[in-house]
Structures are given as structure tokens and as C-alpha cells.
Amino acid sequence: MLGKYILSIDIGTSACKVAVFNRKGEVIASVNEGYPVYYPHPGYVEQKPDEWWAAACKGIRRVMEKGAIAAGEIAGVGVDGQSWSAIAIDKEGSVLFNNPIWMDTRAKDICSRLNKEIGAEKIFSVAGNPMQPSYTTPKILWYQETYPEQYKKIDKVLQSNSFIVYRMTNKTSQEKSQGYGLHCFHLEKGIWDADMARTLGIPQKFLPDIYDCHDVVGTVSAQCAAQTGLLEGTPVVAGGLDAACGTLGAGVYANGQTQEQGGQAGGMSICTKEYTASPNLICSYHVIPNLWLLQGGTTGGGGALRWFEGIFGEYERELAKKTGGNSFALLDELAAGIAPGSDGMIFLPYLAGERSPIWDPNAKGVYYGIDFNKTKGHFVRSLLEGVGFSLLHNIEEAEKVGAYADVLRAMGGAANSKVWTQIKADITGRRIEVPSSDTATTLGAAILAGVGIGWYQNYEEAVLETVQVTRVHEPDLEKHEQYKKQYQRYRSLYEDLKDSMSQSW
């Protein structure tokens, strides 16, 4: 008899989230386990996969205890994770290098060389994505150039979710939604392209077998059971990309539906039934078979406000402690008191270079328009608006290749902010619907497991059963018109500064 719960593991940038859901998508219990991000050199942004696994093990035990859940009540496990990992393991399963995460830009010279030697258009014709340092491919080649002896020990290269699945089942896998990180993955066909792998110099043996995201890869091993408290033999599905799982968990399962991302990163994902790629955007498979996601992925999403709060939010944190409130809610109040357009103040949210659509690893964050009349509220609101402008920039790029975002489904921690969500609606001119934003990603991974073990007959049934819209934001068209001029200034500001951004100081 199947258990009555699904356990879901989310390997995020700042923490591992573990949640347990029932069939209706209700959260029985959830916990977060943090881990460090390492910045050893300029452009280097690393994490240690074994610290992910330790956090997952601790989180599983804690969530089971918190929810008074017996191991036998878990019917299956779903896993999602951050994009563009390059986790190299040897034949014994040991991790050979720290993992450069999606914000890492160390391999930009390798990308320049490959785009010149192989040809950017030829690479794009297979991969459907540009050769940029954030992706998995150049990181593998960076290992080869930097650590040639260790490189010889590589048996497989895994993604964040497939690494956790491997630790749970002892089975290596590559599911389709994360295939886009490797430029030898044929994005239209969903298979490895052996010719491109040879051209890039990536050995075929590094590439695991490909699975659909809901496929059961294996079951919880005895070793995993001892580490986590799960029942040996519990099914574990392949899982998927965090953004794609969040898209599913926000209720996006059909052609034309769109998710708005409000996690550490920002951006959007437009669901398409036809393969539609743009060199200025990101294209991946959805976690649902035979669908793609045309994505805009930025470095400055919810993480930009988290950065601001960490450096400039001491007063709000202290006030929140005294009042039992929330420092981010207090920053929201400051932003709400400033007029749209922040009295001419503009923020470029390029805090770790920028991904789509400008693809500039040298891009820098900028506050423009500071004068004696500006207050802390101006700094907060212009930050929120800058992230909104980056969203609109990506939506406009998608329209150029025929992918249109109408209604947006917001997810991630930023969607909890009514002020920020309304700003995004006003800037984009789109209606924004907000489901249960904090759980969208883990819910998406749980839905994959539910489909994989037969809880749900299909994805439509799963979404209708589990996803509920909690509030709606209609765009204020008058404010939308006001924002158009500010948006053009936002766009021109980067163009005016990009040459200076690329200079060494």
C-alpha cells in the first residue's frame, strides 16, 4: 500500500528545503537547512555538494520529527535543485571539486574561445542556449585545464538534483529539464549529441543516462536509510530544475502559461509546446514531457533585496525583534511610501554579473540618481523597480521569438511582498496571480514524485488538485505608462556604462 505523503527536497542556493506534502498539496511539515556559499577569488562562486547532502540528511530527519511522520508513510521522494552544476564524481562516488554554481563566471575565457573556434551559431543549433560561463559545459573544461590529474578520475558529471538522487539510490541519472546546462545535449530532441560532445572535448562516459523528470530512478538504499531515517526501498524520482519545478508548483502546465520567478534569482518561464529558443534567453525542457520553457534568468531577484537588507537593514531587524515583525515587511513599508519611478532613482540589479538577456559577466550593480532628497525608501523602491525592469526586459526578448507572457504566476519569497508584486504588475502591464509562493518549488518536485508513483494520472489532475491562487494583482495602467519612460532610462543606463564595467580596477 502506498504511503500517504510525498517528501520533497529542494537544493537552493542558500539552503536545502525539505517538505512533506499530502495528496492535496498541503504542507504537513517543512524545514530549512542552510549551507555556505564560497567566494575564493573574484568571479568564483562555489558550494560543496557534500554539504548539500549533509543538510538534506539533517533536514529529512528534522521534518519527519516535526511532522510526527513515520518512515513508512512516505510514498516517494522528489528532488529539485539549482541550475548549471558540474558535480564531478569518481567511480566510488566521491566529489572531486567544489561545485561552481550558477553565479560563477571563472570560465568566461573558455567560452570566448569555444564561441570563436567552434562557432556560437553551431553550438546554439544543438544546445538551444548560448555558450556562457554560468552553464555546466565550460566548468567541465575548466576542470580539465586547471586540474588535469584530478580530471582523469572523473566518472560522471551530475547536476544538483541528480547528485542528491545518487546519494539516495546509488544510481546516476540526467533528467531532461537540467540537460540544457550541457551544450552536447540536443535540446530539441532530448538526447545526447555525440558529435557535439566530441567537438567540445567532453567524454561520453561523463554523461549519465537520460530520464524523464517523473521517472523512478531507484529506491532509497540501506546506507541512505541509515543516514536519513527513510525506509529502504522508498521510490525516488529523477526530479528536475528548481525553476521548472517551481513553474509546475505555481500551476504552469500548459502551452502559453508563464511563471514569474521571485527566488534568489529573478526572471520568468514561458511554457511552450513547440521548441522555441533565443540566443538572448535560456531554453530548457519543462519537467513535464514534450513541453519547453523559454526562460529569462537574472542574477538580481529576491537575492538583491536580501543583499540590501543584510547590509543596510540593521534598524529594521532590531525593530522587528522588538515588535515581533519582519524586517522585509518594514522595508516594504518604506518602498510603498515612495512614488512610482523613485523620483528618478534607478537600480541596475547586476550584483553577480548578469545572465539573460544581456549576458555580461562584467556587469555591475548600480544606483543612479542619488541626491540629498533621496531617502532609504528611495533606495528600497528603486531596487524593487530595477528587478521589475529586468523582468520586463526578458519578457520583451521572448516576444521577439513569438513567445508571449500574458498572465504571470508568481512564486518564490519575493511573491510574499504585495508591494513588490504590484510593482512588477505595473511595470510589465501584466496580471499577476500568486499561488502558495513559498512552497511552489518543493510542491513541483512533490508533484513529479506523485505522477511517478501513480498518485496522479497526469499533470493536469495534479495541478488542479494541489495549486490554489491566493491573491491577484491587476496592473495599474496609469502607472504602467509612467514606468515606460523610466524603463527606457534603465535600458540606456547599462548601455552607457557597460564599457566602464568591463574595465579592471
pLDDT in tens, 380-392: 999 999 999 999 9
The pairing of beta strand 27-34 with beta strand 15-21:
antiparallel
404-422 mean pLDDT: 94
- Quick check: 243 pLDDT over 50? yes
429-441 mean pLDDT: 88
- What gap in Å lies between CA 442 and CA 18, rounded to an integer? 8
- What gap in Å lies between CA 42 and CA 325, rounded to an integer? 36
Question: What pLDDT was estimated at residue 437?
Answer: 60
Higher pLDDT, 283 or 437: 283
Residue range 5-244, CATH number:
3.30.420.40
291-314 mean pLDDT: 95
Question: What pLDDT was estimated at residue 505?
Answer: 65
218-236 mean pLDDT: 98
Question: What pLDDT was estimated at residue 265?
Answer: 87
- What gap in Å lies between CA 443 and CA 465, rounded to an integer? 12
Question: What pLDDT was estimated at residue 1?
Answer: 45
- pLDDT digit string, tens, across residues 53-101: 999 999 999 999 999 999 999 999 999 999 999 999 999 999 999 999 9
The candidate with the shortest Cα–Cα distance to 294, out of 365, 394, 363, is 394
238-259 mean pLDDT: 94
Phi, psi of 185 (to 5 degrees): -95, 120
The candidate with the shortest Cα–Cα distance to 77, out of 184, 164, 201, is 164
Supply the mean pLDDT for the chain: 96
At residue 80, what is the residue type?
Answer: D
Model confidence at 263, pLDDT cuts 50, 70, 90, reads confident
Model confidence at 2, pLDDT cuts 50, 70, 90, reads confident
What sections of 115-203 are H helices per DSSP?
120-127, 136-146, 148-151, 160-169, 194-200
Residues 6+ apart with CB under 8 A from 354: 298, 299, 300, 360, 361, 363, 390
Percent of the chain with pLDDT over 90: 94
Model confidence at 422, pLDDT cuts 50, 70, 90, reads very high
The candidate with the shortest Cα–Cα distance to 3, out of 449, 439, 358, is 449
Question: What pLDDT was estimated at residue 126?
Answer: 98
- Quick check: 438 pLDDT over 80? no
Model confidence at 436, pLDDT cuts 50, 70, 90, reads confident
- Quick check: 368 pLDDT over 70? yes
- What gap in Å lies between CA 463 and CA 445, rounded to an integer? 12
- Quick check: 292 pLDDT over 90? yes
Question: What pLDDT was estimated at residue 444?
Answer: 97
134-163 mean pLDDT: 98
303-320 mean pLDDT: 97
Tell me the pTM.
0.89
Question: What pLDDT was estimated at residue 503?
Answer: 87
Model confidence at 264, pLDDT cuts 50, 70, 90, reads confident
